[in-house]
Amino acid sequence: MKNLKAIILEMLCALAIVSCTAVPEPFPDSRDRLPYDREITPGLGYQKVMILYSEGYNDLVSNLALNINQFCQGDVPYFNERNVVLVYSHAAERRGDYTTETAPVLYRLYTHGDSVCKDTLATFDPKANTLTPGFMRSVMETIARTFPSRHYGLVISSHGNGWIPSDYSGENLDMSIAPSWIGAQYDGSYRNRKSLDISQLRDAIPFRLDYIAFDACLMGGVEVAYELKDLCDYIVASPTEVISDGFNYTNMASRLLGDGDPDLQGLCEDYFNMCANSDSYATIGLYDCSKMQDLADVSRDIFEAHRDEVMLVNTWDVQSYNYTFSYNYDFRDYVRAMNASEEELQALDKVLAELVIYKNSTPYFISTPIDPDRFSGIGTYIPTSGRPTLNSCFRETAWSEATGLLQ
């Protein structure tokens, strides 16, 4: 989960909520304006729509509020520009309070004069389970109806756990399993959480995205990228956990809404440099989703040729991406460890060079050393005999079905 260094000063959270030179201030007449009351010139639409999906009804509430505050310090578009910033936010009243109901809200951020303003578009039922495909789809449909565009981008900020199913509760080798892929809505306690599976995310978004950037743990795996390959053009994600400070939000608007295509590599570099320059920890990758089928094709041939070794790989011999958990490893290094031939690795490397557009890591992620010669930038689950339940779940993933890794 995006749960490391989870204690951010509550005073910072309070500041992020009250001001937006500090935080957005709504115009007096904006609070009750409904999405369908807005006038949009037919056929005009908007150039780029960036969506920040901030699911913070959990222990990250302070961090996520601070991230929005940091975003407001950047180059937020003016109201009359065709580039738009939209924020969906569901935030707990405060860290540790998961019983007080709060209303999820969708709002627009824009610059007006010297201030960044918040224009509320919609509020939602405080009792709603916000982490269902139907709820998320309703938010996205509101966005599409109100801000028509050919270019949508999505930044998701919350907890995450890769492809792991939301109803998986662990087995004997899993010491601290978190049953969620991305997002967490706590119900009374952090031990009782609601979340979405990665396939549910795919089904919840009714339009194609230019990119998805996951400011969440463990989303940089082949399983996630393959599941979402037909939903978006690019994915930004980390194969390890993500320190709870999150991405560099101050530079985010200029990177994603500047002239030309979104500068996703710049987004990655900003995050990495922020962590590296503050003696923190980070891994990050940028993936071209159009190459995921090529990776599946070459992987299927390798897995078939090494069928007897798939389950016998010594995980201690593979670059680990684990800190809290124990089932995340480097994809390319896993293939090497199953005794792939030089020819097979060359074919794999050719695809990876086109798929992983950018990658970087600090020398360590907390206590886990990251070897730059074994860091491919994208992770994977390694099936072992000690996890029959999780193996059964993995067998049903789109990635396993496409590659035949587990049969």
> Over the chain (407 residues), what is each successive 10-residue block's mean pLDDT?
42 37 39 36 74 86 89 94 93 80 92 91 88 90 93 92 73 39 48 71 93 95 96 96 92 96 98 95 97 98 95 94 85 97 98 98 94 97 90 92 94
* Residue 218: per-residue pLDDT: 92
Listed residue (18, 3, 15) closest to 60, CA to CA: 3
Distance CA 407, CA 401 (A): 8
* Residue 190: per-residue pLDDT: 45
The tokens describing 375, both together, are 């860091």
Cβ count near 70 (within 10 Å):
18
* Residue 18: per-residue pLDDT: 33
With residue 118 as reference, give the H or E element that holds it: strand 115-123
Distance CA 381, CA 394 (A): 8
Distance CA 264, CA 109 (A): 21
With residue 342 as reference, give the H or E element that holds it: helix 342-355
CATH of domain 10-33+40-291: 3.40.50.11970
* Residue 8: per-residue pLDDT: 36
| DSSP structure class, residue 114 | T
For the chain, domain boundaries: 10-33+40-291, 293-355+379-403
- 260 sits in the region (left: phi over 0; alpha: psi -120 to 50; else beta) called left
Cα radius of gyration rounded to whole Å, the chain: 21
Q: What is the pTM of this model?
A: 0.86
Question: What Cα–Cα distance (Å) separates residue 306 from each residue in 302, 313, 330, 381?
Answer: 6, 11, 18, 17
Strand order in the sheet with 48-56: 115-123, 105-112, 83-91, 48-56, 152-157, 209-215, 232-237, 283-288, 356-361
Distance CA 314, CA 160 (A): 26
* Residue 29: per-residue pLDDT: 35
* Residue 178: per-residue pLDDT: 34
Distance CA 231, CA 198 (A): 12
* Residue 90: per-residue pLDDT: 86
- Is 90 in a helix, a strand, or coil? strand
* Residue 45: per-residue pLDDT: 75
Distance CA 152, CA 84 (A): 10
